[in-house]
Amino acid sequence: MESALRCVTPSSMYRCARCGAFNRIPSDRPNGEAVCGRCQVALDLSGAPQNVDTARYSHAVKNAPVPVLVDFWAPWCGPCRAAAPMLEQLAKRHAGRLLVLKVNTDEDPQPSADLGIQGIPTFVVFRDGVEQGRQAGVLPGAQMGEWLSRFV
């Protein structure tokens, strides 16, 4: 019995910040440029965290083909602001293998209420729409990276 082999180019998944579509981009893409297959706008391949409202959060968590890390935060929260640069570094380090979203709990309180989040910042990792891990409060960069590595 012969098996059919095919060459598969490694790829990464990116979410279009404009329309929310997930796009598979080959890792060997020249110049690191790509456009969304749905709305044709340029995709951000940096992996930078994306701000989302309740509807976009819900859609992304349920449909993402990669793990999703959600940062529940608010602009007045000092620890939330302090965590932002570390979160951006982690997001860029795992670009294409992890989607990082930011939900402003002042503007969109429903997702955090649904999850029973009582303090911010809180970081939640989802895979296939199911919560896989939660971290309340900011960890030092290395520890946050170790925590996140269990899910990516």
Same domain, 77 and 14: no
- Does residue 50 carry a pLDDT above 90? yes
* Alpha carbons within 13 A on the beta-carbon side of 93: 14
pTM of the model: 0.90
Decide: 109 and 74 in contact? Cβ < 8 Å: no
pLDDT tens, position by position, 72-88: 999 999 999 999 999 99
pLDDT score for 28: 72
Domain that holds residue 27: 7-45
Question: Catalytic site residue 7?
Answer: no
Q: Which of 16, 19, 36, 80 is catalytic?
A: 80
- Rg of the chain in Å (alpha carbons): 16
Same domain, 11 and 67: no
Q: 35 pLDDT band (50/70/90 cuts)?
A: very high
Same domain, 87 and 143: yes
Domain count, the chain: 2
Count Cβ atoms below 10 Å from residue 49 Cβ, excluding itself.
20
Long-range contacts of 145-149 (CB under 8 A, 24+ apart): 145/90, 145/93, 148/69, 148/90, 148/94, 148/98
Spell out where the chain has E strands: 11-15, 22-26, 50-51, 68-73, 99-104, 122-127, 130-136
For the segment 56-71, the average pLDDT, to the nearest whole number, is 97
Same domain, 32 and 61: no
Q: Rounded to the nearest 5°, which phi and psi values hold at 68? A: -120, 125
Q: Which of 19, 36, 39, 77 is catalytic?
A: 77
Decide: 68 and 79 in contact? Cβ < 8 Å: no
Weakest mean pLDDT among 5-9, 20-24, 32-36: 5-9
Same domain, 88 and 109: yes
Token pair for 139: 């960890």
Decide if 22 is inside a domain.
Answer: yes
CATH of the domain at 23: 2.30.30
pLDDT tens, position by position, 115-132: 999 999 999 999 999 999
CATH of the domain at 126: 3.40.30.10
Give 12's contacts (C-beta < 8 A, 6+ positions apart). Answer: 24, 25, 27, 45, 95, 96, 97
Decide if 1 is inside a domain.
Answer: no
Same domain, 64 and 132: yes
Q: 10 pLDDT band (50/70/90 cuts)?
A: low
Question: Catalytic site residue 16?
Answer: no
Q: Is the dihedral of CA 19, 25, 29, 32 positive or negative?
A: positive
Same domain, 86 and 33: no
